[in-house]
Structure 1
């Protein structure tokens, strides 16, 4: 005797429909995505860039000064591109003013674009960042902390969505033996940044700084890692020549095969 196929469960269909609607709504409320302008990065990001209404976390690959500086400049370059239009301002909240202003300016974030806020501790910095996000008039917020639990990151994510303003949470190393990104977070993306050797020049001199960037986590997408050339004076990354040549060759071969 042939058995009839089971009827679909209406309640399950309704749940799937509601879930799809929630995903669409979440994407619409994230705000415009800011692309890196590097296909090898943008093509791997769910939004083909960084959401302009979300929390993004950044940390140095290690506690070494070179990696710490690379992470700070990576964040500054992103903020500079969010604030590229005239009249836009970035809020940088921190507990200790140890930024090297000329270095920040070299990646496109000059003094006219920056507003600093100094707190006594991480809790103060997180509160300052949340206020800045909810104000809605800033191009971007950067907050430097060593400690931010999941509740704090959830508050920042909600404030970013409410104010349609991106926040870059720069997680400083609390311990040399533990990554700041080990703890759970509500961030949309989480990045580790470190210094790597520059591309050799055909003549005497120092080449453009290079970084290793690793997307540890992104909502709805896969992690990846890539070596890039550091931000230029517009906050833009680039692929080292060898990687760019391989990407071009690969694309040409694919077109030829097609």
Structure 2
């Protein structure tokens, strides 16, 4: 994203360089949706940063919509992706439909979350990956700080996909971490088609936290075959329905 005011642009660059321990210039991966990119510092998801994504409502435990949201993000990056998990239940045909080709992904499976966290840190420190995704239940501040520092060192993007075993464990998502952004993705009823079938999946994407920015929420369409989401218009009567789903997500 370009800024018309050169003073503001220079100030943003100076702040970005001060915020990086290794002096790398920050780069960003835009969503390509102006309304979303406008609320993100730099105009997109920052490389060299740690991000958090979780499911809301009925997707708190399975995290299906959140996983596809993450897949769409890393699909638009360039290079290999490391995906660390403790539950081998990722349905890859759906991930491929979100634009993330299996040839680009290296999977790391472990029985213990501590090992998955360690693998994620090693992947971020490696320097040859575009992004590292880790499915974790807990993300303590110290662990998130180590991941953030590792991402800063190499410029890779780190994304923690929070997946809980029980719905009531999701309250942990409000705890402070070193993540740059924190998202919650909840499913909404898809749009009706004029013919028999199911329309494009519709999600409520809540930007719950962002450094140097303001919180926001968007109704978006699921990623297409190139990992691109779209902003969907709110249909008549949809606002009340979305509010009900937001209450369920909370």
User: 1:17-70: CA deviations, max 9, x gaps?
Assistant: xxx965552277363100000011001111210001100000011353797210
State whether residues 216 and 223 of structure 1, in contact with CA within 8 Å, keep that contact through their aligned partners in structure 2: yes
Partner of 1:209: 201
1:35 maps onto 2:26 in alignment: no
Partner SS, residue 111 of structure 2: coil
Structure 1 pair 167–203 and aligned structure 2 pair: CA distance change class (3 A)? same
Q: 1:115 to 1:187 in 2, by over 3 A?
A: same
Equivalent position to 2:111, from 98, 117, 120: 120
Instruction: Tell me if 1:142 matches 2:133.
Output: yes
Larger Rg: 1
Please state if 1:159 is matched with 2:150: yes
- For residue 19 of structure 2, the aligned residue among 1, 20, 26 is 26
Alignment size in residue pairs? 220
Name the counterpart of 2:230. Answer: 238
Change (3 A) 1:174 1:63: farther
**What stretches of structure 2 of length at least 5 have no aligned partner?**
1-12, 236-250
Aligned ranges 1:94-109 → 2 under 5 Å: 94-109=85-100
Change (3 A) 1:197 1:30: farther
Q: If the length of structure 2 is used for normalisation, what is the TM-score?
A: 0.82
SS at match of 1:214: strand
In 1, are the aligned partners of 2:86 and 2:111 still within 8 Å (CA)?
yes
Question: TM-score scaled to structure 1, two decimals?
Answer: 0.80
**Deviation at 1:224?**
0.6
What is the distance in 1 between the residues matched to 2:213 and 2:127?
A: 28
* Matched-pair contact (CA < 8 Å) for 2:61–2:166: no
RMSD: 2.0
